[in-house]
Amino acid sequence: MTLARLRRQSIGYALIAPAMLVAIVFLFVPMIVSAFWSFTEYNGVRPPTWVGLDNYATLLGNARFQRSFWNTVAFVVMGMGLGPPLGLASALLLNRALAFRGLFRVAFFLPVMTSLVVVATIWKMLYNEGGLINTVLTAFSLPGHGWLSDPGTALPAIVVASVWQGFGFETVVFLAALGGIPRDYYDAAKVDGAGRWAQLRHVTLPGLRPTILFVYIIGIIGSFQVFDQIFVMTQGGPVNATRTLVFHLYDKFNSLDLGEASAVAYFLFVVLASLSWIQFRFFGERE
């Protein structure tokens, strides 16, 4: 290694040192300590007692935790089934020469910049028995509904609010990616007689493959961590219908059961790491 190269690397290490230090102190050390807690009975006051895999065994055998897991999966499936396609559709529309295109872009992105708590509060008001949604239904002689009180509609209602809040982000990401697909590809496709649908299928979607992968990885990770909306709108109810993994963690933490709370956190970590690996392995490799 030459002296000049060593000097260059030293400068690089010096520049990343502050960020590394912050990551070590505020991320890696707490993660390691939390991993240790997940194998202990610990309430934050008395010294932790080693219990091995008991916390994990208790969690996996707990019906309420299982319900939390499946609710989270349902939230992810519904959210990812609606959000990215909606983001892509709006990006395709906005990518065309529309009047007020800039205004629409801002309008779509505005909810993303709004606090989730504010968004959840607004949607809770919309879902109220005397709220806008029921008022409109009643105006059309349709019966109103207790959207958040009915275990059958509470989770879908939260999904709708979450998708509304988040799809603007996907729109902006897809818009940027659409700009990166060379026009030549479309011209060549047109010469070959491809219509709009064929262009979308054979040019746009393949060109967006890395972006779609990115959107789904980020979206799935974010959806698995859903909490704010649940906390504001339903507190996990009615009857566990909207209880999710992070809400379960929150409950355990509030009960000063830091051992089980940490086990939930690591269960979530393993699920997310596995899903991300699968996505990269089967969808990212072809890039």
Partner 1 sequence: MNRLTRPAVALAALALAVSACGSAASPSPTSPPATQAPATQGPATEAPVETPAPSIDTTPVTITVWDYYGEATPVKPALDGFQVAYPWITVKYEALDWDSMNEKFAVGVSAGAAPDVATLDMTWIPTLASNGVLEDLSALSGGMLNGAPIAEQYEPGGNEAMQYEGAYVTMLFDFDVYALYYRADQLESKGIAIPKTWDDLRAAAKALAEDTNNDGKPDRYLYQVWPDTFHWAQFLFQNDGSILTADKTAAAFNSPEGVAALEFYKSLIDDGSGIYWGPDQGDQMAAFKDDTIGMFQNGPYVMGLLKSGAPEMAGKWKVALAPYSKQPGSYLGGTGLGIPVAAAHKQAAWLFIQYMLRPEQQVGVFTYAGAAPATTAALESPELTKADPYFGGDAPFGVFLEAMKTATHFPYVKAWSEIQTPTIDDAVAAALLGQSSAQDALDSAAEETNSLLEK
Binding site for partner 1 (CB under 8 A): 25-27, 29-31, 33-34, 37, 43-47, 58, 63-64, 124-125, 127-131, 146-151, 227, 233-240, 243, 246, 249-251, 253-256, 258, 261-262, 265
Closer by beta carbon to partner 1, 170 or else 251: 251
Closer by beta carbon to partner 1, 108 or else 266: 266
* Least distance (Å) between residue 218 CB and partner 1: 20
Closer by beta carbon to partner 1, 10 or else 66: 66
Closer by beta carbon to partner 1, 55 or else 90: 55
* Least distance (Å) between residue 136 CB and partner 1: 15
Query: Do the beta carbons of residue 40 and residue 50 sit within 8 Å?
Result: yes
One-character DSSP codes across 10-70: HHHHHHHHHHHHHHIIIIIHHHHHHHHHTTEE--SSSPPEE-TTHHHHHHHT-HHHHHHHH
Q: Which residues contact 137 (CB under 8 A, 6 or more apart)?
A: 143, 144, 145
Using CA atoms, how far apart are residues 214 and 203, in angstroms rounded to an integer? Answer: 18
* Least distance (Å) between residue 232 CB and partner 1: 9
* Least distance (Å) between residue 268 CB and partner 1: 12
Query: Do the beta carbons of residue 157 and residue 170 sit within 8 Å?
Result: no
Closer by beta carbon to partner 1, 114 or else 255: 255
Structure tokens at 101: 């295109």
* Least distance (Å) between residue 2 CB and partner 1: 40
| Nearest CA among 154, 164, 148, 151 for reference residue 82 | 164
| Nearest CA among 261, 243, 264 for reference residue 252 | 261
Query: Do the beta carbons of residue 161 and residue 119 sit within 8 Å?
Result: yes
